[in-house]
């Protein structure tokens, strides 16, 4: 029997969490995140002038008796904004990073299901994969876990194509959680900026191995790119290693800057770190969950 | 320096092979490797130009040097080199310390054993410290006190704990033992004997050669006159008396006049004044009248340098008595027969006084009336001839009127004629013997067989009373006992434990290494042996040719080859650890160390 994606005890711990976002999105009624958009909610939001066709049940009759003008009470709607989880399934994620990403995506999906959010898990490499939509409570988690377990990694990452395809196929703005190593040779900063400009709230989770950040090898190396199979010969020593690490850290810092600049959040996750620590420490500190 | 485990050629070949292997591993470890990475993005920026010409070059010479030096040092440690002369193999020496009984003698100063211990320690201090030494304590037996010890302090402690024994020295056997011990080690060494050289004349081993033998003599100009042996036997002529025979010997170089005093339970028995020439023995005989048990003490005075053989005590057992009640109509006739033996205490009564409840002794019935006889009388015959007694048959003996007795199954017939039993013995708590004729009649009074008949009757009643035996005092060591009787032999100590022995041509041989009391029991005979005298020497040992005499001159400070392999092992390990710390551990630490997070500036 295959090992479950997430064990029951860990899922029970996750029920304390809530996926958190800052922006208000126009969407369906429901959910737990307040919105500045008025609608048929329960909480009072504001008054506005009555216009023809408005619901008479929302007229503030007390104000009319005192001021002899019709004012309409507006109520704060609680929209159900779809939470999109983009999971990088490219070849560079192969191995521990992809397993870690699947578990992280499953954990966030479970958190959303518990809070009755609507979620979509979308794998991607050079193209968007078939999305898995889910919602309606924790009992809908089993299909999500099975879907994540069945995912395979492979292909080349192309954030430009992904951003274009995503914006054209999904006009609904919402919270966009991107789980990836963001190791695109062409860079992914501009593509992510497009998504932010489109109105999505970005939550970037960068997963990396220790050898992605500090390669342990020394001497003469023949490097092969896992996605493009491109080869490169390098003479690698401690000085080059330090330079490599510095470049990696700068790239991670640029991703963090991009996320924060667009009112999003960024979490750097080494695969050596426990998933529970990431969710209950790093994500909470970055206000990705609450 | 020499190598114990590897020859120099083997060492060099091994070092060359391992060095080549290490260098090959080093170069292989630093050769080009193919790695699959997630992206080439950062590699491009951190890339250094490839210099293929440097591939086979040593880029960390100190690392390789440390590895090579460390491995070579470990290899040298395995070779176990030693600094010193390779031919100075440690000797296996044997120290034979004389612990015979004579070593407790003293002239005016300390006893001989103290001088021997002192000489032995002097010899031990002169032995090369690398030599292994075995201590053998020698008396009649050679007993190893230690194994071949390289720690000489243990030998010193064993020397200090050595005490004189009870037997004489068998030096040739001790030397042969030492030689065999050296041969088992496949090593040579010195055999040093420390003692006075007083040995038994009969040496078990053959003559030894003097090669590798050292004689460190202990002077013993000591005058000694002592007890040699003593024997106490029942008197053959006088009942209730013991014949005591004591032999003394002068072991000194001068004549001595001594007094030999003998006492029994603090009462004097006798004394002799003797003048003994050097090496002479003299025997003194005494008669001891004692039926009760007691302690027989014999002492030679004045005291001399060896007091152990000047005084001895032996326990004389009590003489057993036979109490018997004789029912006879004519006690005056029978009384002389029984009164002749002092060990028999007879009480005479007439047959009419017989009562069964008055029996507290054995009984003898002489020609009882048919109606009172405890054994039924079959008939009375006139003058039967040809009486047959156990071990005796007399056809001419005339018995007169004799009652023929009827025996029951448990009865024993002691004498019979052609018509039937005439003397019948009946066992029981108190034994009963019925004699069917009167030995006091005119027909039997002067028959020679009558006393023998009564002797048989008394022996049957209580055999222990008439058992032969005696007490012998002699020295510990080898004991030889003549066995006149056939049958089983039993030798036991005073506590009842059995003593091993051998019998050869009617002579029993046994050995007792310490003072002991033994009991030798054969059929009808019991001999007690008090082996409480020290076994004395018979002669002075003559060292064979080639024997080195005296202590070695000066202390031998030859030091053994020094072991250097521990230092080499430590240095080799230190080199490898240093290389690991400098190149492996720190490199790994640099790889795993997470740098401080990049400080980001929030862009508002």
Of residues A185, A238, A249, nearest to B598 (C-beta): A249
Specify whether the CB–CB gap between B127 and B133 falls below 8 A.
yes
Q: In what order do the strands lie in the sheet with B322-327?
A: B344-349, B322-327, B362-366, B432-435, B420-426, B412-417, B387-389, B392-394
The reply to whether residue A214 touches residue B31, judged by beta carbons under 8 angstroms, is no
HEC letters along A40-82? CCCEEEEEEECCCCCCHHHECHHHHHHHCCCEEEEEECCEECC
Q: Domain boundary residue among B415, B435, B461?
A: B461
Whether the model clears a pTM of 0.90, i.e. scores above it, the answer is no
> Quick one: pLDDT at residue B441?
72
What distance in Å separates the CA atoms of residue A203 and residue A187, rounded to the nearest whole number? 17
DSSP string across B281-336: EEEEEEEEE-SS-EEEEEEEES--S-GGGTEEEEEEPPPP-EEEEEE-S-HHHHHH
Q: Does one domain contain both A70 and A90?
A: no
Looking at the predicted structure, is the pLDDT value of residue B489 above 50? yes
- Residue A63 included in any domain: yes
Tokens representing A235 are 């003479």
Tell me, what's the pLDDT at B52?
Answer: 45
For A239, name the nearest residue in chain B, comparing CA atoms only.
B46
Contact state of B48 with A240 under an 8 Å Cβ cutoff: yes
Indicate whether A195 and A229 sit together in one domain.
yes
In a domain, A30, yes or no: no
Compute the radius of gyration of chain B from its Cα atoms: 46
Contact B48 A234 (CB under 8 A): yes
In A, residues 169-198, which contact B (CB 8 Å cutoff)? Answer: 181, 183-185
- Segment among A128-132, A236-240, B83-87 with least mean pLDDT: B83-87
Over residues B128-172, the pLDDT tens digits come to 877 889 999 998 888 999 999 888 889 999 999 999 988 888 888
A190 and A95 in a common domain: yes
Find chain B residues with C-beta within 8 A of A252's C-beta.
598
Q: Which residue is closest to B52 within chain A, CA to CA?
A: A220
Q: Residue A76 and residue A45: Cα distance in Å, rounded? A: 5
pLDDT at A77: 64
| Residue A62 pLDDT exceeds 90 | yes
Cβ <8 Å between B33 and A222: yes
Residues B511 and B448 in one domain: no
* Residue B156 included in any domain: yes
Highest mean pLDDT: which of A74-78, B132-136, B197-201, B469-473? Answer: B132-136
pLDDT (0 to 100) of residue B602: 42
Nearest to B50 among A97, A181, A233 (CB): A233
Nearest to B41 among A185, A249, A257 (CB): A185
pLDDT band at B45 (very low <50, low <70, confident <90, very high): low
pLDDT of residue A82: 75
For residue B603, pLDDT beyond 80:
no
pLDDT band at B53 (very low <50, low <70, confident <90, very high): very low
Residues B34, A209: C-beta atoms closer than 8 Å: no
- pLDDT, greater one: B277 or B87: B277
Tell me the shortest Cα–Cα distance from A32 to chain B, in angstroms: 28
In the predicted model, is pLDDT for residue B6 greater than 70? Answer: no
Residues on chain B bordering chain A, Cβ-to-Cβ distance under 8 angstroms: 30-52, 55, 59, 587-588, 590-593, 595, 597-598, 600-603
- Which tokens belong to B245? 């025979």
pLDDT tens digits, B220-262 = 888 889 998 888 888 777 767 888 999 999 988 889 899 999 9
Retrieve residue B112's tokens. 């001989």
CATH number for the domain harbouring residue A184: 3.40.50.410
Residue of B nearest to A93 (CA): B38
Average the pLDDT over each of B338-342, B382-386, B393-397, B480-484 and give the range with the smallest value: B393-397
Indicate whether A176 and A275 sit together in one domain: yes
B599 has pLDDT over 70: no
pLDDT in tens, A144-194: 999 999 988 888 888 888 899 998 888 888 889 999 988 887 788 889 999
CATH number of residue B283's parent domain: 2.60.40.10
Q: Which domain holds residue B270?
A: 225-304+307-319+467-533
CA of B559 to nearest chain A CA: how many angstroms apart?
A: 53
pLDDT value at B340 more than 90: no
- Closest chain A residue by Cα to residue B41: A185
B199 alpha-carbon distance from chain centroid = 18
Q: What digits encode the pLDDT tens for the residues A198-229?
A: 888 899 999 998 888 888 887 778 888 888 88
CB contact under 8 A, A244 and B46: yes
Q: Which range among A208-222, B121-135, B390-404, B431-445 shows the weakest confidence by mean pLDDT? A: B390-404
Contact A260 B46 (CB under 8 A): no
Residue range B492-510: mean pLDDT, rounded: 84
The reply to whether B250 falls in a domain is yes
What is the structure's pLDDT at A110? Answer: 92
pLDDT at A71: 92
Instruction: Taking residues A34-50, report their average pLDDT.
Output: 72
- pLDDT band with cut points at 50, 70 and 90 for residue A121: very high
State which residue of chain B sits closest to A242, comparing Cα positions. Answer: B46
Same domain, B169 and B252: no
Across the range B191-214, mean pLDDT stands at: 78
Containing domain of residue A210, as a range? 8-23+81-285
Q: Do A260 and B55 touch (CB under 8 A)?
A: no
What total number of domains does chain A contain? Answer: 2
């Amino acid at each position: 029997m295959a090992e479950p994606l997430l064990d029951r005890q860990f899922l029970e711990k996750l029920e304390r969490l809530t996926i958190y976002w800052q922006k208000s999105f126009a969407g369906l009624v429901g959910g737990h995140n307040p919105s500045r958009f008025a609608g048929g909610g329960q909480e009072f939001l504001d008054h506005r002038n009555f216009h023809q066709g408005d619901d008479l049940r929302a007229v503030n009759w007390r104000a009319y008796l005192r001021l002899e003008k019709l004012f309409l009470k507006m109520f704060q709607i609680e929209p159900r904004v779809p939470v999109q989880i983009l999971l990088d399934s490219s070849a560079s994620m192969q191995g521990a990073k992809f397993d870690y990403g699947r578990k992280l995506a499953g954990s966030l999906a479970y958190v959303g299901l518990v809070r009755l959010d609507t979620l979509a898990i979308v794998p991607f490499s050079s193209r968007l994969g078939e999305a898995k939509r889910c919602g309606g409570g924790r009992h809908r988690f089993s299909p999500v876990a099975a879907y994540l377990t069945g995912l395979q990694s492979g292909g080349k990452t192309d954030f430009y194509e992904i951003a274009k395809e995503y914006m054209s196929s999904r006009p609904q703005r919402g919270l966009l959680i991107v789980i990836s190593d963001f190791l695109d040779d062409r860079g992914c900063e501009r593509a992510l900026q497009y998504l932010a400009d489109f109105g999505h709230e970005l939550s970037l989770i960068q997963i990396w191995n220790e050898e992605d950040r500090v390669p342990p090898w020394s001497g003469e190396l023949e490097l092969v790119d896992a996605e493009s199979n491109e080869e490169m010969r390098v003479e690698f020593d401690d000085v080059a290693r330090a330079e490599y690490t510095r470049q990696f850290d700068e790239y991670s810092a640029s991703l963090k800057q991009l996320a924060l600049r667009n009112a999003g959040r960024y979490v750097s996750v080494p695969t050596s770190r426990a998933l529970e620590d990431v969710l209950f420490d790093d994500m909470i500190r970055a206000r990705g969950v609450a | 320096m020499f190598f114990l485990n590897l020859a120099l050629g083997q060492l060099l070949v091994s070092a060359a092979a391992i060095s080549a292997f290490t260098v090959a591993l080093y170069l292989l470890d630093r050769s080009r490797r193919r790695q699959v990475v997630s992206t080439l993005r950062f590699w491009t920026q951190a890339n250094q130009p490839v210099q293929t010409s440097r591939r086979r070059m040593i880029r960390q010479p100190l690392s390789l040097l440390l590895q090579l030096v460390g491995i070579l040092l470990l290899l040298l440690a395995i070779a176990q080199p030693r600094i010193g002369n390779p031919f100075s193999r440690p000797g296996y020496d044997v120290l034979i310390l004389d612990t015979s009984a004579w070593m407790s003698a003293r002239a005016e100063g300390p006893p001989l054993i103290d001088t021997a211990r002192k000489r032995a320690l002097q010899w031990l201090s002169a032995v090369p410290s690398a030599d292994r030494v075995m201590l053998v304590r020698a008396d009649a037996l050679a007993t190893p006190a230690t194994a071949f010890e390289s720690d000489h302090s243990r030998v010193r402690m064993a020397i200090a704990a050595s005490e004189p024994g009870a037997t004489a020295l068998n030096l040739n056997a001790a030397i042969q033992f030492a030689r065999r011990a050296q041969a088992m080690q496949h090593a040579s060494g010195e055999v040093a004997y420390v003692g006075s050289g007083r040995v038994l004349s009969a040496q078990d081993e053959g003559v030894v050669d003097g090669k590798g033998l050292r004689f460190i003599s202990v002077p013993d100009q000591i005058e000694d006159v002592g007890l040699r042996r003593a024997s106490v036997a029942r008197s053959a002529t006088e009942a209730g008396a013991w014949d005591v025979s004591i032999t003394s010997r002068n072991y000194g170089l001068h004549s001595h006049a001594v007094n030999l005093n003998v006492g029994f339970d603090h009462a004097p028995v006798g004394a002799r004044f003797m003048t003994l020439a050097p090496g002479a023995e003299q025997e003194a005989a005494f008669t001891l009248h004692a039926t009760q048990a007691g302690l027989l003490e014999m002492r030679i005075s004045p005291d001399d340098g060896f007091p152990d053989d000047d005084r001895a005590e032996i326990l004389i057992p009590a003489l057993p008595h036979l109490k018997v009640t004789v029912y006879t109509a004519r006690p005056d006739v029978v009384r002389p027969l029984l009164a002749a033996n002092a060990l028999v205490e007879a009480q005479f009564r007439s047959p009419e006084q017989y009562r069964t409840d008055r029996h507290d002794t054995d009984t003898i019935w002489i020609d009882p009336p048919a109606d009172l006889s405890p054994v039924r009388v079959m008939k009375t015959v006139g003058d039967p001839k040809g009486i047959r007694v156990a071990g005796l048959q007399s056809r001419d003996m005339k018995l007169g009127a004799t009652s023929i007795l009827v025996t029951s199954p448990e009865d024993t017939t002691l004498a019979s004629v052609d018509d039937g039993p005439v003397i019948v013995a009946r066992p029981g708590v108190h034994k009963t013997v019925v004699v069917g004729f009167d030995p006091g009649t005119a027909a039997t009074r002067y028959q020679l067989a009558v006393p023998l008949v009564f002797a048989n009757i008394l022996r049957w009643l209580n055999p222990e009373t008439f058992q032969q035996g005696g007490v012998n005092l002699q020295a510990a060591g080898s004991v030889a006992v003549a066995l006149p009787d056939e049958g089983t032999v039993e030798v036991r100590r005073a506590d009842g434990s059995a003593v091993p022995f051998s019998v050869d041509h009617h002579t029993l041989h046994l050995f007792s290494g310490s003072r002991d009391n033994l009991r030798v029991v054969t059929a009808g005979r019991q001999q007690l042996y008090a082996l409480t005298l020290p076994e004395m020497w018979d002669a002075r040992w003559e060292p064979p040719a080639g024997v080195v005499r005296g202590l070695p001159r000066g202390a031998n400070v030859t030091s053994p080859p020094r072991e250097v392999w521990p230092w080499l092992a430590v240095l080799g390990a230190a080199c490898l650890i240093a290389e690991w710390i400098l190149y492996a551990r720190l490199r790994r630490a640099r790889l795993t160390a997470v740098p401080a997070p990049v400080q980001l500036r929030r862009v508002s």
